Amino acid sequence: MHENGSGKSDVARIDWSGVFVVSVTPFGQDGCLDEPATRSLVELLASEGVTGIILAGSTGEWFTMSNEERIELFRIGRDQVRSVPVLAGISAIATGDAVELASAARDLGLDGALLLPPPYVLPTDRELERYVSAIAEVGLPIMLYNNPGRTGINLDLRWLKKLSRHPEIVAVKESTKDIHQLGATIRGIGDELAVFTGMETYVGALVERGGAGVVGMAPNVFGRLPADLYTALNLGDMQEVRRLQEAIDGLYARMYGGMHNPYVVLKEAMRALGRPGGFPRPPLLPFEGRERDELASFLAGVQR
């Protein structure tokens, strides 16, 4: 390991690129973590072209899980997958909870962590700096997650330059859906942080601007297709890009169509395709009635 001029390690920055997936968490109908399904899923994802797996992120319904359950999920994921980096979703409201999760992930040998600003709290500048610093001091490489719609905090370039002074802050997942901010972030700090877009619908804009990759959800459903899209974009194969992007846009249109939580749509799509996604955990609820038929019809028409 060596350091660049800012004192930051280059290793994590180089390794974290391509297509990372935020894995769903397979729960049984009883609401309990389904360990066999979890092992099957993470092994499947690792075999389908992703370059990293994130456990207990928002897609993994971390907000319904105790710290103990999330740590158990980290253990299962690390035990099952060694071929790609495995990151821990450590987002929490209380600093102590996030530190506990980061420490457990470090001790279990995970490769890093994904961290939101504390949801709901709306911290001051001083409080947010202290929050991130306390967690970074655990000694685990961190990908910051910018999703102001969920947190009320926009980690723009000003914030990222401030927070990235800590050597363990190595990447950012940019989910504002703002292409201008995505471009400004890549241009302004892309040499220091690995800049990812948080949705596959924006991966073309990211590649054009020289970003590091995408942290998405679609591999849960489509397997290798998102990795193929990323490859096609980098090769400039626009005919293939359009074909693959159409499939991903169709999935996202259903995820964010307003009738259901996007994480519920993902699990319903996985069930339709026979993939080990399990059931959502309350307050999230599965589909009812004919909604499954429309989703199944769309999936049947996707060319992989």
Q: Write the CATH number for 125.
A: 3.20.20.70
Q: Give the chain's domain count.
A: 1
CA distance 131 to 199: 26
* Beta carbons of 168 and 142 less than 8 angstroms apart: yes
pLDDT of residue 159: 95
Q: Is residue 15, in this structure, part of any structural domain at all? A: yes
Catalytic option among 8, 23, 131, 145: 145
The residue written with tokens 């249109």 in the block is: 253
Residue 55 C-alpha from the chain's centroid: 8
Confidence of residue 259 (pLDDT cuts 50, 70, 90): confident
83 catalytic residue (yes or no): no
Q: Which of 23, 58, 91, 164 is catalytic?
A: 58
In-domain check, residue 258: no
pLDDT score of 12: 41
Residue 256 in domain: no
**Could you tell me what percent of the chain has a pLDDT over 70?**
95
The answer to whether residue 169 scores a pLDDT higher than 70 is yes
* Amino acid 112: pLDDT: 97
Distance of CA 193 to the CA centre of its chain: 16
Which tens digits make up the pLDDT trace of 52-107? 999 999 999 999 999 999 999 999 999 999 999 999 999 999 999 999 999 999 99
Q: Tell me the torsion sign for CA atoms 115, 15, 169, 151.
A: negative
Confidence of residue 9 (pLDDT cuts 50, 70, 90): very low
Listed residue (161, 32, 159, 22) closest to 91, CA to CA:
22
**Residue 162 pLDDT exceeds 60:** yes
Residue 266 pLDDT > 80, yes or no?
yes
Residue 158's domain comprises 11-237
Average pLDDT value for the chain: 93
Position with higher pLDDT, 9 vs 247? 247
Query: Is the pLDDT score of 7 beyond 70?
Result: no
CA geometry: angle 247, 251, 254, nearest 5 deg: 140
- 148-162, 195-209, 285-299, range with the lowest pLDDT: 285-299
Active site residue 173: yes
Cα 4 → chain centroid: 26
Which of 173, 175, 202, 267 is flagged as catalytic? 173
Strand, coil or helix: what is 177? coil
Confidence of residue 15 (pLDDT cuts 50, 70, 90): confident
Of 82, 83, 60, 114, the C-alpha closest to 263 is 60
Establish if 295 belongs to a structural domain: no
For residue 142, is it within any domain? yes
Q: With 70 as the cut, is the pLDDT of residue 47 above it?
A: yes
Pairing of strands 52-55, 86-89: parallel
How confident is the model at residue 6, as a pLDDT? Answer: 47
Residue 190 or residue 288, greater confidence: 190
The H or E element that residue 224 is part of is none
Residue 260 maps to a domain: no
* Domain annotation covers residue 271: no
Residue 288 is predicted with a pLDDT of 84
Q: Is 145 a catalytic residue?
A: yes
Residues 201-235 have pLDDT tens digits of: 999 999 999 999 999 999 999 999 999 999 999 99
The pLDDT confidence band at residue 3, using thresholds 50, 70 and 90, is very low
* Average pLDDT, integer, range 97-126: 97
Q: Is residue 47 one of the residues assigned to a domain?
A: yes
Residue 23 burial (C-beta neighbours within 10 Å; 0-12, 13-18, 19+): buried
Bridge partner residues of 174 (DSSP): 146, 197
For the record, the structure tokens of 229 come out as 């899209």
**Crossing angle of the two packed helices 238-255 and 225-235, in degrees rounded to 10:** 140
